[in-house]
Copies of this chain bind each other. A is one copy, B any other.
Amino acid sequence: MPAPTPAPDPSPAAPRPLRVALLGCGVVGTQVARALLEHADDMAARAGAPLELVGIAVRDASRPRDGVGTVVPRELLTEDAASLVDDADLVVEVMGGIEPARTLIRRAIASGASVVTANKALLAEQGPSLFEAADAAGVDLSFEAAVAGAIPIVRPVRESLAGDHVRRVLGIVNGTTNYVLDQMATHGLGLEEAVTEAQALGYAEADPTADVEGFDAAAKAAILASLAFHTRVSIDQVAREGITSVTADDVAWARRTGHAVKLLAIAEQTEEGVSVRVHPALVPLDHPLAAVRGAFNAVFVEADGAGPLMFYGQGAGGRPTASAVLGDLVSAARDRLVGGKGPHESAYASLPVLPAEAAVTRYQVRLLVADRPGVLAQVAGVLADHGVSIDTVRQTAAEPPAGVAAEPSAGVGADGTGVASLLLTTHAAREASLSATVAALGDLEPVREITSVLRVEGV
């Protein structure tokens, strides 16, 4: 937090303080309160007026909580969120969840307050209507902390790229799953083992469903797509697949073929509309996203003019999230002081959100086949029938990667025929064609097993 920073220029007439209401007093709320209370002078210098924390709404003011009584004076707590909101210039919502957050944010907007929120679930579900309300009221609704924690992504995409056209966004936006996949790659752990370790270290919740099933990433994908393409995307329009089907073998084979496995949030604009999806994907090792290790997040943006850009940092945690909230708060305060609102997109487009099957991607498929002449031709024929062209085919079992059991390539199948294993990588094709191809391969007589199907992105 601000240490030796510039003294504010004493302005001729000191502006009146702006009244800040804080909704929620968890790890993020406590850090926001701390900055407002302990660095009041710095915040005032940066915002252009004092930011006065007038109260903190909590459900149960009597419940003991970290920081209250020490960092945060107990008398700031209130259970009357509605009155607090009615009397504020700026409302910071860090309580999370849909209700009462939605009602309170709507109330704040209606009373003319600007709102800063870190609530990804709410924005992914209700974003468009909330932004419309904020536009109509002429107030800011800022949400930098809701996308990728501390990483500045909203402002760069909306303002820095205002003269450019974003074509695609690929994000590692869930630290838990990135940590899990990274541990699988680095230490050869299985998924369950890696999740257990992540839980022990506090990187994963006791119930890891929201992370490993991709729900958290899907909420952020919806927000990123809305932001990048100035359109309305809600979480139920996001095709979602978690990491539960990813095996230690997948991760080891990925590395052998020059890839890392990452859970990606993907938003792409095509001529037909917008494709928004979350799934595990093979990313080439020389792609910047492959170097995003541990619980870090990163958002990779491809724009027509700027080319590739990447934004990297911590996607969660009290202090990083509070940093993003405070940046928004200072901007919202400045906007109020000049009587304007920030550059939000009032002109929302209504681009069609494409169904999952319309996405264009590449597949890497591992399969076991009967080891006899003509099988490869049959396999290639199935791909050709579906209009899918092959990038590479390799027989994989000769040198299994370290820690991976050799597949029974030279083994003998149940029918007495030898079994070979193949690794197929396709060129780009529609998801519908690719998944139909895999289904048809599974029905092919010489195919013994489809061992793994992973998409390849970032090429």
Interface set of A (CB-CB < 8 Å, partner B): 1-9, 31, 35, 43, 45-47, 144, 150-152, 155-156, 159-165, 230-231, 269, 271, 286, 288, 291-293, 303-314, 317, 319-320, 322-327, 329-331, 334, 338-340, 343, 345-349, 351
A164 to chain B, nearest CB (A): 4
Given contacts A162-B326, A162-B330, A309-B311, 7 further A-B contacts (CB under 8 A): A5-B349, A7-B347, A7-B349, A8-B347, A160-B327, A307-B317, A309-B312
Contact between A307 and B319, CB atoms less than 8 A apart: yes
The answer to whether A327 and B5 touch across the interface, beta carbons within 8 angstroms, is no
Contact of A288 among B4, B312, B329, B348 (CB under 8 A): B312
Q: How far is the CB of A407 from chain B (nearest CB, A)?
A: 32
What would 19 A/B residue contacts be, using CB atoms closer than 8 Å?
A: A4-B269, A4-B351, A5-B349, A6-B349, A47-B162, A150-B305, A152-B161, A156-B156, A162-B326, A162-B327, A162-B330, A163-B323, A163-B329, A163-B330, A164-B327, A291-B291, A304-B323, A308-B313, A310-B311
Q: How far, in angstroms, from A310 to B292 measured CA to CA in the complex?
A: 11
Residue pair A306, B288 in contact (C-beta under 8 Å): no
B313 contacts A312, CB within 8 Å?
A: no
Contact A306 B5 (CB under 8 A): no
B331 touching A230, Cβ below 8 Å: no
In the assembly, what is the distance between CA of A403 and CA of B386, in Å?
A: 49
Which residues does chain B contribute within 8 Å of A326, judged by CB atoms?
162-164, 305
A309 touches B150 (CB 8 A): yes
Give, as a whole number of angstroms, the nearest-CB distance from A125 to chain B. 22
Partner of A348, one of B6, B144, B152, B164: B6
B150 touches A43 (CB 8 A): no
Q: Indicate if the CB atoms of B305 and A313 lie closer than 8 Å.
A: no
Q: Which residues of B contact A43 (CB under 8 A)?
A: 163
Q: Which residues of B are found within 8 Å of A307, using beta-carbon distances?
A: 150, 313-314, 317, 319-320
Q: How far is the CA of A313 from the CA of B314 in the complex (A)?
A: 19
Is B162's CB under 8 angstroms from A1's CB? no
Name the distance in Å between A270's Cβ and chain B's nearest Cβ: 9
Residues of chain B contacted by A155 (CB below 8 angstroms): 152, 155-156, 159-160
Q: What is the CA–CA distance of A82 and B327 in the complex, to the nearest angstrom?
A: 39
Whether the Cβ atoms of B165 and A144 lie closer than 8 Å is no
Taking CB as reference atom, which chain B residue is nearest A286?
B293
The contact of A161 among B3, B160, B304, B327, by CB within 8 Å, is: B327
CA gap between A67 and B341 in the complex, in Å: 38
Q: Which residues of B contact A45 (CB under 8 A)?
A: 347
A231 to B307, CA, bound (A): 31
Q: How far is the CA of A309 from the CA of B150 in the complex (A)?
A: 8
Contacts of A165 in B (CB 8 A): 1-3, 5
Structural contact, A160 and B164, CB atoms closer than 8 A: no
- Using Cβ atoms and an 8 Å threshold, which residues of chain B touch A47? 162
Contact of A313 among B310, B317, B338 (CB under 8 A): B310
Chain B contacts of A306 at CB under 8 A? 150-151, 313-314, 319-320, 323-324
A323: B residues at CB distance < 8 A: 161, 163-164, 303-306
Contacts of A334 in B (CB 8 A): 343
- Find chain B residues with CB under 8 A from A310 CB: 310-313
Identity of the chain B residue whose Cβ is nearest the Cβ of A135 in the assembled complex: B9
B-side contacts of A329, CB under 8 Å: 163
CB closest residue in chain B, given A36: B163
| Most chain B CB inside 10 Å of its own CB: which residue of A156, A269, A271 | A156
Contacts of A293 in B (CB 8 A): 286
Q: Which residue of chain B has the shortest Cβ distance to A3 in the bound complex?
A: B165
Closest to A305 in B: B323
Closest beta carbon of chain B to A202's beta carbon, Å: 16
Q: Is the CB of A162 within 8 A of B46?
A: yes
Contact B160 A144 (CB under 8 A): yes
A245 → B minimal CB distance (Å) = 28
Question: Are A163's CB and B347's CB within 8 A?
Answer: no
B161-A331 in contact (CB<8A): no
**Contact partner, A6, options B1, B35, B231, Cβ 8 Å:** B231
Please tell me if the beta carbons of A9 and B346 are within 8 angstroms of each other in the complex: yes
Question: What is the CA–CA distance of A331 and B164 in the complex, to the nearest angstrom?
Answer: 13
Q: Are B324 and A160 in contact, with the CB atoms below 8 A?
A: yes
Q: Nearest B residue to A340 by beta-carbon distance?
A: B338
Nearest-Cβ distance from residue A197 to partner chain B, whole angstroms: 19
